[in-house]
């Protein structure tokens, strides 16, 4: 249908007059209440910057931590209030002059991002794992990020006991971007949100206290490739504007399905040209697939996950994935439903190679952080299977999966921060041998997370995977489910191998020790385990919640 | 009144739980607790029986629904009991004989360190057996069925320090699994056919079901019965089961558990009535086993194994009767009850003899014991007279009825089955007379045991002789009490149905023939073992004797066909598993690993090559999208 409608648009373009040129400027209406979660976070981030400038150095850590946690909690409260007020269902609406959609998926994903951010921030604030440097407690971040690694000035900063408390406002800015990303209802907002959450992440990746060169290399790679992918996204946006004459999701969708017949004279040469639509759509897709880490746009993932400070890795792996999949869902369900049949084969192929590629390459990894990176790639493939379902069950299963997966991820990376030797975190797998004999509790907790990654029943991983595969199978993607199950089997191999390594190998004499963390990291891990088990044992309430949240507003 | 039914099971179940979990503190009083709870169950049974007698024949059946076990849409399994006349008969037999054997065991097991555990197992057996006979559906029956199998396994292997006992227990368990598989398949077939497995609905709707399905269910039930009741071809475990303590042999492997197969077939009478072919197979299995067991019984020198052969043979009679249909069901049960008395009595007598003879079981080393153990001699003798069918005693009435019913089956089948039953009676008389003569008559052939102790036979303590006396009384009078005035027939008819068979031979002819068979059997035995001295070392014997000593080569057959065959099958499967399955699995793993190693090299750490990958990916995505539209 769209093809013929578009074609008629194309040929009748010259005969249509433009809209009246004399439109006056009107002040935009902003629904502050509905935007409260984002506004709270942005406000707190700005306050954080001010705190860096005005609060004495000694008090900064506590001030920033308090500010961040309070802001995240308040924003979460706002999300809950909105959801309770029916904004997720009956009162779902487009806010801020069409820029932001407040609906079920938005609120669900914002809630997930905020909760995950809270527990991630706890790991950011952990200061008991590293031995004290010159009498000062230190965290995972460089004393002064601007100093050259190994230089005198770095040593001076360490001696002075500096810490990079800027990470807290950076996280808040990033969270603000992530909150907007899945809610963006026009392409420009989408792009701005992307940059708002990506730029602080690039910085955060670069500020590791140990292995600083590796950290900086990771940040540069991430930045370069991120910029590259942003370029694709931006060019795609331009093409779609050329096609539809608008950046608004709703308008583009209407043009795609042929219910808009007016043509903007300024775009008479391009509007309705399907080639623009297809190329633009594919390019935007590319940008988003980069962010979720789908093959073949995944190559930044292992390097960045490995190089970034582990708390940042956990945060990035969990929260970015949630935000990016949210945006991808909205794009496919709201903007491009008319292109479902054009995009489906491509998405199928991407999902398949993502699942298989992530699982297969993970087998030969020897570093726990890289292993988890490939695992996250495989999981991106599983989630894509749910995205492709293009049904309400597909949406809700993806929402559920994201919630379940993000907590497992944050928890798993938090455990990684605990296993240390003289050089900091001992991330090489050979050092994890026999960990279960020395620290049975930590090993057992990590085993729970690994089993959840593998999708073993009674963990959230199983509930999520089951929901996603069920939705995919019901929408006719049975073959995809078969591939999913096969790659799950491959993936189970390396997850279980780590468990075997921890429990059934002799500990090494010079093996790492498990540092006893402060209550902050303990909370992160405990929440991770609790969510994993609750979603595994009694998932129904949360499945229902995701089910209710599964409808996009248009 | 129906609320009492659960108490029947609850008492021994409580006993089992307390005795098995209670630990050593209960060692001193445990046997009393077990016995009292068994007796309590018996008392409850008697109370229920008295109540039942007070009602009309049609509304005697009681039901008790305890709770829904598995309430699922389309699959309703309940823990519910049904106590009708048939169940009542079994309840009284099980709890009555069970209580006597508990009492006997107090004396018999006196010197055993693990007596408490023994009583715990006995109570467990009682509870499971009661569940089996009062269940109101096949699934719950199956629970009891497995429960008695477990108790039997535990008790056969009670003296687990003896390798022979341990392996006998395993053998019994394994052979029974074959039968249990039959029962579970039968239950599945019932569920698919009838949508339920409660007795009422299943047995009432057999009329609307095709004969083929009923035959399949019937044959599977028969397989189950063969396992539990030691019928050919699953009979091989019973002889070895004699490794268990003698009270166990008396209770489980003579009086009660081994008759569960008969109960199952009679209870499922409606199914077999609708499947004449299955019914005929039942009768044939019974007839074959009855001769098979009798021949084995003739050749054994081990007193318990001789009695075990006899048990097999007598249950063969019951199965034969059950295979005759409504003309035989009631007589099967009647023989079952009288057999419960005299065979339990015989086993207890054998146990008493062993008790006095340093646990010697070889009859060739007995002889002349009647003077030393008068009570045992008299009670054993009465049991002997009952089992061979001496006119007027229990066995005479019940066996005679089965032989009559077999002839009444009609046609060639009737003649064949009747003659076999008659032949069996003669052989029974022979082997039982042989046991009697070798044990209690003739000269002493006593030998010192392995440690050099000379036997000093003596009468057993009261706790052992009293149960023997009670059972002897039952052996003498039960048959007459049941048969005269058709008491037993009238009692069970509302449950099992009854048809009076019309035998081609008159009742007097059959009775006369039975008595003649009896006289011939006793006469031959007298000629062989009474007139001539019995050699202490067994003579080589004829080919048949030698085969019969080896249980008619049943183990050899199983070994060659099942064990060897099984080994070959396993070996070939292992080969396939190693070469093919493992090959595929390992090959896949290796190739995935290799692929992983190669793909890993793509991740070379250069941002430029990552960008190329992205660019290539984007190009492919765009091209593919466009291509889709073009296609």
Do the beta carbons of residue A315 and residue A120 sit within 8 Å? yes
Between residues B585 and B324, which one has the greater pLDDT?
B324
The dihedral over CA atoms of B601, B603, B604, B609, expressed in degrees to the nearest 10, equals 120
Taking all residues of chain B, what is their mean pLDDT, rounded to a whole number? 90
How many other C-beta atoms can be found within 10 angstroms of the C-beta atom of residue B329? Answer: 29
Q: Per the structure block, which two tokens stand in for B47?
A: 């109370």
The answer, yes or no, to whether residue B355 has pLDDT greater than 60, is yes
- Scanning the structure block, which residue is given the tokens 């890993």? B600
Banded pLDDT at A20 (limits 50, 70, 90)? low
Using CA atoms, how far apart are residues A374 and A383, in angstroms rounded to an integer?
14
Among B569, B578, B550, B545, smallest CA distance to B430 is for: B545
Using CA atoms, how far apart are residues A270 and A244, in angstroms rounded to an integer?
9
pLDDT digits (tens, 9 = 90+) for A292-344: 999 999 999 999 999 999 999 999 999 999 999 999 999 999 988 878 788 88
> What's the pLDDT at B25?
84
Helix extents (H) in B229-328: 237-240, 246-250, 260-267, 269-273, 276-299, 303-322
The answer, yes or no, to whether residue B293 has pLDDT greater than 70, is yes
Using CA atoms, how far apart are residues B315 and B335, in angstroms rounded to an integer?
9
Nearest residue, CB atoms, B614 vs list A229, A364, A490: A229
Q: Which of A105-109, B108-112, B533-537 has the highest mean pLDDT?
A: A105-109
Between residues B549 and A292, which one has the greater pLDDT?
A292
The dihedral over CA atoms of A363, A364, A367, A373, expressed in degrees to the nearest 10, equals -50
**DSSP string covering A24-40:** PP-PPP--TTTTHHHHH
Percentage of residues of chain A with pLDDT beyond 90:
73
Do the beta carbons of residue A270 and residue A13 sit within 8 Å? no
> What's the pLDDT at A406?
96
> What's the pLDDT at A532?
96
> What's the pLDDT at A11?
42
Residues B170-191, mean pLDDT to the nearest whole number: 93
> Which chain A residue has the Cα nearest residue B585?
A490
The answer, yes or no, to whether residue A137 has pLDDT greater than 90, is no
Question: Are the beta carbons of B629 and A282 separated by less than 8 Å?
Answer: no
Bridge-based pairing state of the strands A424-425 and A513-514? unpaired
Using CA atoms, how far apart are residues B372 and B316, in angstroms rounded to an integer?
35
Distance from CA of B585 to the nearest CA of A (A): 12
Distance from CA of B72 to the nearest CA of A (A): 20
How many other C-beta atoms can be found within 10 angstroms of the C-beta atom of residue A85? Answer: 14
The answer, yes or no, to whether residue B411 has pLDDT greater than 90, is no
> What's the pLDDT at A22?
58
Lowest mean pLDDT among A391-405, B41-55, B545-559, B611-625: B545-559
Using CA atoms, how far apart are residues B410 and B325, in angstroms rounded to an integer?
12
- Scanning the structure block, which residue is given the tokens 């009292």? B36
Using CA atoms, how far apart are residues A354 and A303, in angstroms rounded to an integer?
17
Residues B271-299, mean pLDDT to the nearest whole number: 93
Domain ranges of chain B: 297-539, 559-630
Nearest residue, CB atoms, A286 vs list B605, B607, B621: B621
Taking all residues of chain A, what is their mean pLDDT, rounded to a whole number? 90
pLDDT digits (tens, 9 = 90+) for B70-102: 888 888 888 999 999 999 999 999 999 999 999
Do the beta carbons of residue B10 and residue B95 sit within 8 Å? no
> What's the pLDDT at A42?
97
Question: Maximum CA pair distance of chain B?
Answer: 110
pLDDT digits (tens, 9 = 90+) for A164-194: 999 999 999 999 999 999 999 999 999 999 9
The answer, yes or no, to whether residue A17 has pLDDT greater than 50, is no
Mark A10-42 as b/e (b = at least 16 C-beta within 10 Å).
beebeeeeeeeeeeeeeeeeeeeebbbbbbbbb
- Residue A349, chain B, CB below 8 Å: the answer is yes
Residues A422-443, mean pLDDT to the nearest whole number: 90
Do the beta carbons of residue B126 and residue B95 sit within 8 Å? yes
Do the beta carbons of residue A165 and residue A184 sit within 8 Å? no
Residues 457 to 486 of A: which have CB under 8 A from any B CB? none
Using CA atoms, how far apart are residues A414 and A523, in angstroms rounded to an integer?
10
Residues in chain B closer than 8 A to A299 (CB atoms): 602-603, 609-610, 613-614
The 8-class DSSP code of residue B28 comes to T
Between residues A517 and B2, which one has the greater pLDDT?
A517
H or E segment to which residue B69 belongs? strand B62-72
Banded pLDDT at A5 (limits 50, 70, 90)? very low
Using CA atoms, how far apart are residues B286 and B446, in angstroms rounded to an integer?
38
> Which chain A residue has the Cα nearest residue B596?
A361
> What's the pLDDT at A16?
44
Do the beta carbons of residue B474 and residue B394 sit within 8 Å? yes
pLDDT digits (tens, 9 = 90+) for B568-612: 999 999 999 888 888 888 888 888 888 888 988 888 889 999 999
> What's the pLDDT at A541?
92
The answer, yes or no, to whether residue B229 has pLDDT greater than 80, is yes
Residues A421-431, mean pLDDT to the nearest whole number: 88
> Which chain A residue has the Cα nearest residue B597?
A364
Question: Are the beta carbons of A279 and B596 separated by less than 8 Å?
Answer: no
**Percent composition of chain B: helix, strand, coil (DSSP 3-state, to 5):** 80, 5, 20
Distance of CA B254 to the CA centre of its chain: 8
pLDDT digits (tens, 9 = 90+) for A356-410: 999 999 999 999 999 999 999 999 999 999 999 888 899 999 999 999 999 999 9
The answer, yes or no, to whether residue B107 has pLDDT greater than 60, is yes
Among B209, B207, B188, smallest CA distance to B197 is for: B188
Burial class (CB in 10 A: 0-12, 13-18, 19+), A534: middle
- Scanning the structure block, which residue is given the tokens 């026009």? A186
Using CA atoms, how far apart are residues A326 and A348, in angstroms rounded to an integer?
18
Residues A41-68, mean pLDDT to the nearest whole number: 95
**DSSP string covering A516-552:** PPPHHHHHHHHHHHHHHHHHHHS-HHHHHHHHHT---
- Residue A274, chain B, CB below 8 Å: the answer is yes
- Residue A220, chain B, CB below 8 Å: the answer is yes
- Residue B592, chain A, CB below 8 Å: the answer is yes
Banded pLDDT at A13 (limits 50, 70, 90)? very low
Distance from CA of B618 to the nearest CA of A (A): 6
Using CA atoms, how far apart are residues B319 and B456, in angstroms rounded to an integer?
41
Among A389, A423, A521, smallest CA distance to A123 is for: A521
Using CA atoms, how far apart are residues A361 and A487, in angstroms rounded to an integer?
11
Residues A25-33, mean pLDDT to the nearest whole number: 87
Quick check: pTM over 0.90?
no
Distance of CA B252 to the CA centre of its chain: 7
The 8-class DSSP code of residue B259 comes to G
Between residues A132 and B522, which one has the greater pLDDT?
B522
Banded pLDDT at A7 (limits 50, 70, 90)? very low
């Amino acid at each position: 249908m769209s093809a013929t409608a578009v074609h008629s648009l194309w040929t009748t373009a010259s005969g249509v007059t433009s809209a009246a040129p004399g439109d006056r400027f009107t002040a935009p209406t902003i629904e502050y209440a509905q935007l409260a979660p984002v506004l709270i976070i942005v406000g707190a981030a700005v306050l954080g910057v001010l705190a860096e400038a005005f609060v004495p150095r000694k008090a900064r850590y506590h001030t920033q931590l308090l500010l961040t946690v309070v802001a995240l909690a308040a924003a979460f409260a706002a999300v809950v209030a909105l959801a309770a007020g029916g904004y997720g269902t009956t009162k779902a609406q487009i806010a801020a002059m069409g820029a932001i959609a407040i609906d079920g998926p938005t609120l669900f994903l914002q809630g997930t991002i905020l909760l995950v951010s809270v527990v991630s921030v706890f790991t950011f604030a952990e200061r008991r794992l590293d031995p004290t440097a010159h009498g000062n407690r230190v965290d995972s971040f460089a004393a002064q990020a601007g100093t050259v690694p190994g230089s005198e000035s770095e040593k001076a900063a360490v001696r002075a006991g500096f810490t990079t408390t800027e990470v807290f406002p950076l996280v808040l800015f990033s969270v603000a971007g992530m909150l907007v990303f899945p809610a963006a209802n026009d392409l420009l907002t989408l792009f701005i949100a992307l940059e708002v959450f990506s730029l602080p992440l690039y910085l955060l990746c670069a500020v590791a206290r140990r292995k600083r060169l590796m950290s900086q290399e990771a940040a540069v790679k991430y930045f370069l490739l991120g910029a590259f992918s942003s370029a694709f996204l931006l060019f795609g946006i331009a093409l779609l504007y050329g096609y539809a004459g608008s950046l608004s999701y709703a308008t583009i969708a209407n043009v795609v399905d042929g219910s808009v017949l007016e043509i903007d004279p300024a775009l008479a040469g391009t509007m309705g040209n399907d080639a623009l639509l297809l190329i633009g759509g594919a390019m935007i897709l590319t940008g988003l697939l980069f962010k979720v880490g789908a093959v073949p746009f995944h190559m930044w993932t292992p390097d960045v996950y490995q190089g970034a400070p582990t708390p940042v890795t956990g945060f990035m792996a969990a929260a970015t994935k949630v935000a990016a999949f949210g945006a991808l869902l909205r794009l496919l369900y709201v903007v491009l439903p008319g292109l479902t049949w054009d995009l489906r084969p491509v998405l199928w192929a991407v999902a398949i190679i993502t699942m298989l590629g992530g699982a297969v390459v993970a087998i030969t990894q020897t570093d726990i952080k890289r292993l988890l990176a490939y695992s996250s790639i495989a999981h991106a493939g599983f989630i894509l299977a749910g995205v492709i379902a293009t049904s309400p069950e597909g949406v809700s299963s993806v929402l559920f999966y994201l919630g379940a997966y993000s907590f497992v991820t944050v928890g798993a990376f938090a455990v990684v921060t605990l296993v240390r030797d003289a050089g900091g975190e001992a991330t090489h797998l050979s050092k994890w041998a026999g960990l279960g004999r020395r620290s049975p509790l930590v090993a057992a907790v990590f085993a729970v997370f690994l089993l959840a990654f593998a999708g073993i029943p009674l963990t959230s991983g199983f509930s999520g995977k089951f929901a996603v595969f069920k939705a995919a199978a019901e929408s006719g993607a049975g073959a995809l489910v078969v591939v999913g199950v096969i790659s799950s089997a491959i993936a189970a191999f390396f997850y279980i191998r780590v468990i075997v390594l921890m429990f059934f190998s002799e500990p090494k004499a010079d093996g790492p020790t498990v540092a006893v963390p402060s209550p902050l990291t303990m909370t992160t891990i405990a929440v991770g385990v609790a969510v994993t088990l609750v979603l595994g044992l009694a998932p129904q309430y949360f499945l229902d919640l995701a089910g209710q949240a599964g409808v996009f507003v248009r | 009144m129906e609320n009492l039914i659960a108490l029947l099971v609850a008492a021994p179940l409580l006993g089992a739980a307390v005795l098995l979990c209670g630990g050593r503190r209960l060692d001193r009083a445990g046997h009393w607790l077990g016995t009292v709870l068994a007796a309590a169950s018996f008392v409850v049974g008697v109370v229920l029986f008295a109540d039942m007698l007070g009602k009309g024949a049609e509304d005697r059946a009681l039901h008790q629904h305890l709770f829904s076990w598995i309430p699922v849409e389309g699959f309703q399994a309940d823990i519910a009991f049904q106590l009708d006349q048939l169940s009542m008969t079994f309840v009284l037999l099980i709890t009555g004989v069970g209580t006597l054997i508990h009492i006997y065991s107090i004396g018999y097991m006196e010197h055993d360190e693990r007596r408490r555990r023994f009583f715990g197992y006995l109570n467990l057996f009682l509870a499971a057996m009661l569940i089996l006979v009062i269940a109101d559906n096949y699934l719950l029956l199956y629970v009891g069925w497995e429960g008695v199998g477990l108790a039997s396994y535990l008790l056969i292997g009670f003296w687990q320090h003896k390798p022979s006992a341990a392996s006998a227990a395993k053998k019994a368990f394994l052979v029974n699994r074959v039968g249990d598989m039959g029962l579970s398949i039968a239950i599945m077939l019932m569920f698919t056919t009838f949508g339920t497995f409660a007795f009422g609905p299943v047995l009432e709707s057999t009329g609307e079901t095709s004969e083929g399905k009923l035959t399949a269910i019937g044959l599977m039930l028969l397989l189950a019965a063969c396992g539990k009741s030691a019928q050919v071809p699953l009979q091989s475990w019973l002889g070895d089961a004699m490794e268990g303590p003698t009270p166990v042999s008396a209770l489980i492997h003579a009086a009660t558990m081994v008759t569960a197969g008969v109960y199952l077939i009679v209870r499922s009478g409606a199914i077999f009535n609708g499947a004449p072919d299955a019914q005929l197979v039942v009768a044939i299995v019974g007839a074959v086993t009855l001769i098979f067991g009798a021949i084995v019984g003739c050749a054994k020198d081990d007193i318990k194994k001789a009695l075990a052969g006899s048990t097999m043979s007598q249950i063969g009679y019951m199965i034969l009767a059950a295979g005759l249909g409504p003309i035989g069901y009631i007589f099967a049960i009647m023989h079952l009850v009288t057999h419960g008395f005299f065979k339990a009595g015989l086993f207890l007598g054998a146990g008493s003899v062993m008790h006095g003879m340093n646990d010697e079981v070889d009859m060739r080393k007995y002889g002349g014991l009647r003077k030393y153990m008068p009570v045992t001699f008299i009670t054993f003798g009465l049991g002997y007279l009952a089992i061979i069918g001496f006119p007027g005693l229990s066995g005479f009435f019940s066996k005679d009825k089965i032989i009559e019913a077999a002839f009444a089956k009609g046609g060639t089948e009737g003649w064949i089955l009747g003659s076999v039953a008659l032949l069996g009676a003669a052989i029974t008389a022979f082997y039982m007379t042989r046991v009697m003569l070798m044990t209690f008559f003739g000269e002493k052939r006593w030998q010192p045991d392995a440690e050099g102790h000379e036997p000093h036979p003596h009468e057993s303590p009261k706790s052992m002789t009293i149960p023997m006396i009670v059972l002897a009384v039952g052996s003498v009078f039960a048959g007459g009490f049941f048969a005269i005035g058709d008491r037993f027939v009238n009692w069970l008819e509302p449950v099992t149905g009854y048809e009076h068979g019309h035998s081609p031979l008159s009742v007097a002819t059959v009775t006369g023939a039975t008595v003649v068979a009896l006289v011939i059997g006793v006469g031959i035995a007298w000629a062989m073992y009474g007139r001539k001295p019995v050699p202490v070392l067994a003579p080589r014997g004829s080919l048949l004797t030698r085969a019969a000593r080896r249980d008619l080569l049943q183990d050899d057959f199983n070994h060659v066909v099942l064990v060897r065959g099984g080994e070959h099958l396993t070996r070939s499967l292992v080969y396939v598993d190693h070469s093919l399955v493992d090959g595929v699995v390992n090959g896949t793993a290796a190739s995935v690993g290799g692929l992983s190693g190669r793909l890993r090299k793509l991740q070379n750490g250069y941002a430029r090559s990552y960008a190329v990958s992205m660019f290539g990916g984007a190009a492919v995505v765009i091209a593919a999208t466009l291509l889709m539209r073009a296609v």
